[in-house]
Amino acid sequence: MKRSACLIFNPVAGQSDPEQDLAQIKAILEPEIDLDIRLTTPELDADELAREAIAQGADTIIASGGDGTVSAVAAALVGTSIPLGVISRGTANAFAAALEIPNNIEAACATILGGKRRTVDAAYCNGKPMVLLAGIGFEAETVEQADRESKNRFGMLAYILAGIKQLREMEKFEVEIETEDKIISVTAAAVTIANAAPPTSILAQGPAGLIVDDGLLDITIVAPINVAGAIAASYHLLQSALSGNAAERDDIGYLRARRLQVRTNPPQKVVLDGELIGTTPVDVECIPGGLTILVPQVEEALIAEKLEGLPSLKIESKSQPLENDEGEFLDVLDPTPE
């Protein structure tokens, strides 16, 4: 008996041909899964479609689109135990990267067919479900600058260009962070509260690796003195993301907490999973094991050797001599002694 799933498909996500993308998805999945396909529209967005599918008893829900689409569907699934399949077709695809889900259609569909489930944390920010992160200050301004037109035109470069512009216009603010056991007051340019984040979300990379199922939120505070310091801090956080080592600069702080409140003066814009939701203050609480996702059956193996392409490359096979129990060397081609 075939499985069933609801596919929520955003036809305006990314820069590829949506009709070709949908045809490819159907060709791979429909031989094994009965798909109930629902397209997002300006009047009917992804979270509303997801809530309808949940109410109608969907066994699995698949989200195909950019981070906005995927995060909206994921948010609707928090606390339901209904597994989420992800087929990323957006600009940044941060959700897939953060949760180690393949970001090409063929591999993403194979992951869904594999059916392996993983339970990860979620969170609530001012009562709204949060899967990835909430950014205050610099990150929120950057996301606001990278509008749909620039993302369609420049792709991922739109975020980089917006970030460079925000570095030049960097504004600091007073912030108070209250956790269950302390109150922190500091002057900062950015505060990022992460449940999960890919390496490209550099402002979330203060701690040494983000753990998506530890029941805690990771908070990174970036507090540069000037624009030059902001550039240096951003580069250091990028290096931290690539190396997996915690940040080691005096103008970068980080901590973990299950729940926190953030207040700022003046009020700062807040971006939640890639969408602007208003301004501070915010109240964020982790929901341990709040989301079930479909992940690859086997983790991608690390490449231990890569030699092809080197100039003047020559490789000779070198056999290791073998010995028997008496210490006599054996012929590798004929290992049985006479």
CATH number at residue 108: 3.40.50.10330
The reply to whether 119 falls in a domain is no
Which mean pLDDT values do the consecutive 10-residue runs of the chain (338 residues) have?
93 90 97 97 94 96 93 94 95 84 94 95 94 84 51 44 51 92 92 85 74 92 76 68 70 90 96 89 97 83 55 62 56 49
Q: Are residues 108 and 134 in the same domain?
A: no
Amino acid 329: pLDDT: 53
| Structural domains in the chain (count) | 2
Structural domain for 148, as ranges: 129-288
Amino acid 164: pLDDT: 46
Cα–Cα distances (Å) from 86 to 111, 281, 298, in that order, read 9, 31, 17
Amino acid 159: pLDDT: 41
Amino acid 243: pLDDT: 63
- The predicted model scores a pTM of 0.76
Query: Does residue 198 have a cis peptide bond before it, meaning omega lies within 30 degrees of 0?
Result: no
Amino acid 25: pLDDT: 97
Amino acid 151: pLDDT: 45
Query: For 22, left (φ over 0), alpha (ψ -120 to 50), or beta?
Result: alpha
Cβ atoms of 123 and 285 within 8 Å: the answer is: yes
Query: What is the residue-wise DSSP string for 56-87?
Result: TT-S-EEEEESHHHHHHHHHHHTTT---EEEE
Report how far apart the first and last C-alpha atoms of the chain are (Å, whole number): 59
Amino acid 149: pLDDT: 45
Q: Are residues 8 and 140 in the same domain?
A: no
Q: Are residues 66 and 165 in the same domain?
A: no
Q: Are residues 60 and 135 in the same domain?
A: no
Amino acid 167: pLDDT: 53
Amino acid 332: pLDDT: 47
| Distance between CA atoms of residues 195 and 135, nearest Å | 11
Sign, CA dihedral 186-190-193-194, equals negative
